Structure 1
Amino acid sequence: MGRLGIGLQLYTLRDDMAKDLEGTLRHVAKLGYEGVEFAGYFDKPAEEMKALLDELGLKAIGSHVSLERFRNNLQGEIDYLHTIGAKYAICPYVGAEERENADQWKVLIAECEQLAIEVGKQGLQFLYHNHDFEFHHKVDGEFVFDAMYAGKDAIQVEMDVCWVKYAGQDPLAYIAKYAGRLPLLHFKDFSKDAEGKLVTLELGLGEVPLEEVIKAAEQAGVQWLVVEQDHCQKPPLVSIENSLNWVKEHYINVHN
């Protein structure tokens, strides 16, 4: 069994990327991350982004693309991904005003299926990235998370194990359930504050059973572990280094 790729969701470094995209990507590559998942391109033309990634030896895994961007410029988003050599077009979030009840979710699921079909025609894969709110509503008797994929093979899974566990579900069981259609796994850790709200942490400091997640991911055919920390207690560049050091110690350096 080959080793999983280790990537970084650049949302973690959104402020650094806005200030100095090239310098930030150089730092990410120097630390040893193998790939990056974008959350915005900060006005960098696709050809220039591709040249920079090639120079740094970073793989473009995919990109988080808002529903608004999909709706307004689908072909442009597809073209950018093709140019930088990425494979995955990912819906990262659904605004609260569009997910207040089951009927709204049915509309969204149908829209995602159509996006997935169009993206697939052009050689890419459409993934949906979860938070916890997909476990707050049910559609036809099952959680929205599961309804998103039920009978809709075009939509692939980007599972955020942190949010799955925060929602009170078992991430290991969910990884096994979606084996074969789960190419990307958001690899995150968390605790809860005094009010029970999510606090994202560096890897190894929280509640997620990370080593068990890795084993389950390998068995499920996951291609990339994508490190992410929504909000960092330290400078984000420090936090991503600490998290990668955890991955090296507990996975890369001991992988058979």
Structure 2
Amino acid sequence: MNLSNIAVQLYTLRDYCKTEADLEQSLKKVADIGYQAVQVSGIGPIAPEKVKELADAAGLRICATHVGLDSLLHDFDNTVQKHKLWNCKYVGLGSLPDENRTSAEGYSSFAKTATEIGRKLQEHGLQFIYHNHQFEYQKFEGRTGMDILQQETDSTAVGFELDTYWVHVGGVNPVDAIHQVKGRMGVVHLKDLEIVDYQQVFAEIGEGNLNFKAIIEACREIGVEWYVVEQDVCRRDPFESLAISFRNLQPFL
């Protein structure tokens, strides 16, 4: 991990990225903290050209995205064009449809769809990546949903974007999960977990209980390209949360 490949997942700032003016100010604040890249997700209906213009003006690269499955299935050409405009290789899907989550057959069906999408994106020099939550770790006849996705997708066409928080909530050691996707993960989501009043809550990197020294080492070992900081819910100003996470990652550079 280097300073230049630590990014912010804009979903963290979704309430501050609804308009062009909001996005402009948010990107400037992200850059002022010291980040050099962002993942585009959760922003308002802003033209791709404007997003690129504002990111460039702030000196930020767009390293990855989250897009809707409908965009990949029914608006494929425009999705490709947008990523090309942004010089963004990684096309992320934040979750699979509800109807695919309740059975092994559902996961297998989605694995086929993901492979088809991934192969089409490959033809344009892009990489499909799948972002997990905790529900992928439910077992179906001895295999988790994540096992099925890893085993039944084309390993060259479908990558993974593991989320350290959700992997842990799913009952799996993030370090073990990272090694399981060796060769298939160019982007990781760094997210910490803290216990407050008997409840698990999202926390700034280094302020919770996850072992980020071991997590970063594992990511280095498998060749992760982008380390993306995300915090779904912040208990303080989200820009302050991002600054804390950035500061706490410095010892790992």
TM-score, scaled to structure 2? 0.91
Deviation at 1:174, TM superposition (A): 1.5
Partner of 1:234: 236
Give ranges in structure 1 of 5+ residues lacking alignment: none
Partner of 1:16: 16
8 Å CA contact retained: 2:190, 2:229: yes
8 Å CA contact retained: 1:4, 1:222: no
Partner of 1:99: 101
Q: In 2, distance between residues paired with 1:194 and 1:135?
A: 26
8 Å CA contact retained: 2:104, 2:148: no
> Is 1:166 aligned to residue 169 of structure 2?
yes
**Correspondences of 1:17-56 after superposition (within 5 Å):** 17-19=17-19, 20-56=22-58
Amino acid at match of 1:181: R
Q: In 1, distance between residues paired with 2:194 and 2:90?
A: 29
Deviation at 1:96, TM superposition (A): 2.8
Q: In 1, distance between residues paired with 2:196 and 2:148?
A: 30
What SS does the aligned partner of 1:18 have?
A: coil
What SS does the aligned partner of 2:18 have?
A: helix
C-alpha RMSD of matched pairs (Å): 1.9
Q: In 2, distance between residues paired with 1:178 and 1:99?
A: 20
Q: 149-158 or 108-117, which moves further after superposition?
A: 149-158
Q: In 1, distance between residues paired with 2:2 and 2:95?
A: 31
Aligned residue among 186, 190, 199 for 2:189 = 186
Q: In 1, distance between residues paired with 2:102 and 2:170?
A: 17
With over 3 angstroms needed to count, the CA separation of the structure-2 counterparts of 1:221 and 1:251, relative to structure 1, is same
How high is the sequence identity, in percent, across the aligned residues?
A: 31
8 Å CA contact retained: 2:4, 2:36: no
> Is 1:69 aligned to residue 46 of structure 2?
no
Q: In 1, distance between residues paired with 2:32 and 2:252?
A: 19
Amino acid at match of 1:134: E
What SS does the aligned partner of 2:162 have?
A: strand
8 Å CA contact retained: 1:6, 1:224: yes
Output one character per residue of 1:168-187: Cα deviation in whole Å (capped at 9) or x when no partner: 11111121222221111100
Amino acid at match of 1:202: E
Deviation at 1:126, TM superposition (A): 0.1
Q: In 2, distance between residues paired with 1:54 and 1:4?
A: 15
What SS does the aligned partner of 2:63 have?
A: strand
Q: In 1, distance between residues paired with 2:42 and 2:127?
A: 18
Partner of 1:175: 178
- Which portions of structure 1, spanning 4 or more consecutive aligned residues, are displaced by more than 3 angstroms? 1-4, 192-196
Q: In 1, distance between residues paired with 2:236 and 2:2?
A: 33
With over 3 angstroms needed to count, the CA separation of the structure-2 counterparts of 1:174 and 1:52, relative to structure 1, is same
8 Å CA contact retained: 1:4, 1:223: no
Q: In 2, distance between residues paired with 1:150 and 1:81?
A: 27
**Correspondences of 1:172-251 after superposition (within 5 Å):** 172-192=175-195, 198-248=200-250, 250-251=251-252
8 Å CA contact retained: 2:128, 2:159: yes
Give ranges in structure 2 of 5+ residues lacking alignment: none
> Is 1:144 aligned to residue 126 of structure 2?
no
Amino acid at match of 1:165: H
Q: In 1, distance between residues paired with 2:241 and 2:51?
A: 24
